[in-house]
Structure 1
Amino acid sequence: MKKLHVLPILILMGCSSAELVENWKNPDIVIFDASKVLLVGMTQNENARIDFETRLKAEFDERDIESMRSIDLFDVRFTNSKRTEKELDDVERSLLDKDFDAILLTKIVGSESRQSFRKTMAGLNNYNDGFKEDYRRHQDIYYDQEYYERYTVYHAETSLYCICEGKDRSLIWRGSIDIMDPDDIEKTVEDYVKLVVVAMEEQDLIFHKNIDVEDVDI
C-alpha cells in the first residue's frame, strides 16, 4: 500500500464537517500533473455549486495551476437535461481542443439518517457509581423524546479523470467523503475543499507539498 502523510489529514478531520472515508489511487500512477483542469460540482443547489467551484479554483490559482469552473463553461441548458454518451464524448473532445487535460468531478452520491446521544457520556466509566447514581444519570432514556438526536450524513465523491490526448481517459483518483449534517453550507464547502486539497497533495496528484514530512505507514 502506498505510504501517506496522514498527519495533515487527521488534523483537518479533527475540526471539520467533512471526513475522508476512502482514498483510492490508480496503482499505475505515481505522480500526476495537469496543466488545465475543469472543476465540476454536481448539485441542484446553485449557490453551493458556485461557492464550491470558486473556492476550489482559488486553491488552483494559489498554486499557479490553470483551471476553470464548470459554471463558466456549461450553459444552463446543458445541466438542465440529461446528456447522451455521444454528447459527453463531444464535451471531452471540446475540452481537449481547449487544452484541458483533467477533470475534477465532485458529486453527492447518497445520504443516510443516523442517531446519536444528545447528552454527553461523561461519567460512563465512573466505576465508583452505585445503581442509583447510574440510574438517575440516564433515566431520561425512558421518556425524553429528544434524548437521541437524528442527523443526516451525506456521502460525496471527488474523482480526478485524465483526458490527455493519446492516453486512456481514465480515473486517476477517487476520494469518498462523508459530510456530517451540514447546517452551515459555507463552512461545509470550505472544509470539503481543504480536505480534497490535502488528500490530493498526499497522493502527489496535481498539488504537491513544498516540504518533506516523514512517511507514515497506514
Structure 2
Amino acid sequence: MNKFEHYILLLLVILLSACSSSELVENWKNPDIETFEAQKVLVIGITSNEDNRKFFERKLVSELGRNGVNGVKSIDFFEKNFTTSPKTEAEIMGLESQLIEQGFDAILLSKVVGVEDKVTVVKAYRNLDRTFNNFRDDYFDNQEIFHDQEYYEEYQIFHAESSLYCICPDKAKELIWKGSIDVTEPENTRKAVGDYVKVVIWALKAQQLLIIEEFIDEDFDL
C-alpha cells in the first residue's frame, strides 16, 4: 500500500469516528490471505430481538449489494424454527454442507459479545472558557453541578463482533477476518445499526475482503 492509500484510509478513519456511534476497536485479518472474494455470502445477525435482526441483516445485505457483493439474509434462508433451539455440532456441519450445495462460499456473522456500563459527563461547563480570579466566583458560578442530576449520565457500551468465514469446499473452513466494534448509542437502534454497518463495510474495503477496489498504483507526494 502506497502513501496515498495510507492517507485515504487514515482520513476515512477520522471522518468515520467523528460522527459515528460505532467504533472499530480491534481488527484482525488472516495473514495468509491478501484478498478474498465470494460469490454468495450468508449474512447472520445473532440477537434475541427478531425485529432488530431483520433490520440489521437487511441493512448489511443492502450495503453489500451496493458494493457488488451478493449477500443473503439468514432470516430468509433459515427455516423459521432454526433459531428457536440450540443446534448440535452435527447440525451445524449439516448447515455448512447445505450452504455449499446452494452456492454459498462465505458467512458474515455478527453478534453482541458483552455490555459494559459507563458514566460520562453529558453537560459541558458553561464557564469552560472563563478564568476565575478567586474561589468565590468559581464556586458560585458552578455550584449548580451539585444539584444537576443529569450532569452525569450512565450509558451502555455494546461490545459487538463481526467475523468473516470462508466455507469454500476446496479450502479449510477458516476465519478470514474479525472486527471488534463498540456501539455507544444502542438505544437508538436504527442509528446504531446504520453506523455499525458503515464500520463493517469500511473495514472490509480497507482489508480488500469481499469488496475489492483498485487503488491507483502511483507514489503521491503529500
Query: Is the structural similarity TM-score above 0.5?
Result: yes
Cα distance change of structure 1 residues 171 and 133 upon mapping to structure 2, 3 Å threshold = farther
Supply the distance in 1 between the matched residues of 2:163 and 2:18 (Cα, whole angstroms). Answer: 23
Task: Look up the equivalent residue of 1:14 and give its one-letter code.
Answer: A
The DSSP-based 3-state class of the residue aligned with 1:164 is: coil
Q: Percent identity, please.
A: 45
What is aligned with 1:106? Answer: 110
CA distance in 2, matches of 1:123, 1:214: 50
**Is 1:5–1:213's contact at 8 Å kept on the other side of the alignment?**
no
Q: Which amino acid aligns with 1:30?
A: E
1:179 equivalent in alignment to 2:183: yes
The question of 1:23 aligning with 2:27 is answered yes
**What is the Cα deviation at residue 27 of structure 1?**
1.1
Q: Is the 8 A contact 1:4 1:203 kept in 2?
A: no
Distance in structure 2 (CA, Å) of the matches to 1:69 and 1:174: 19
Match of 1:194 among 191, 198, 210: 198
What is the 5 A alignment of 1:113-124? 113-121=117-125, 123-124=127-128
Q: How does 1:1-218 map to 2 (within 5 A)?
A: 5-121=9-125, 123-124=127-128, 126-127=130-131, 129-209=133-213, 211-212=215-216
* Alpha-carbon contact 1:112-1:152 (below 8 Å) kept: yes
Structure 1 residue 76: deviation in Å?
Answer: 2.3
Alpha-carbon shift at residue 125 of structure 1 (Å): 6.7
Q: Distance in 1 between matches of 2:218 and 2:192?
A: 30
Whether contact under 8 Å (2:35, 2:212) holds in the other structure is no
TM-score scaled to structure 2, two decimals? 0.87
When the two chains are superposed, the root-mean-square deviation of aligned CA atoms in Å is 2.3
Aligned length: 214
1:61 maps to a residue whose letter is G
CA shift in 2, pair 1:93/1:119, >3 Å: same
Which residue identity lines up with residue 45 of structure 2 in the other structure? G
* TM-score under structure 1 length normalisation: 0.89
Q: Distance in 2 between matches of 1:6 and 1:203?
A: 13
Q: CA deviation at 1:15?
A: 0.7
Shift of 1:60: 2.2
Q: Structure 1 residue 55: deviation in Å?
A: 1.1
- Call closer, same or farther: CA 1:136–1:118 in 2, change over 3 Å: farther
C-alpha displacement of 1:212: 4.3
| 3-state SS, counterpart of residue 8 of structure 1 | helix
Q: What is the rounded CA distance, in whole Å, between the counterparts of 2:62 and 2:215 in structure 1?
A: 21
**C-alpha distance in 2, partners of 1:37/1:195?**
18
- Residue 144 of structure 1: how far off its partner (Å): 3.2
| Unpaired stretches in structure 1, ≥5 consecutive residues | none
Name whichever of 81-90 and 127-136 sits farther off: 127-136
Report if the CA contact (8 A) 1:9-1:199 is conserved: no
**Which runs of no fewer than 5 residues in structure 2 stay unpaired?**
1-5
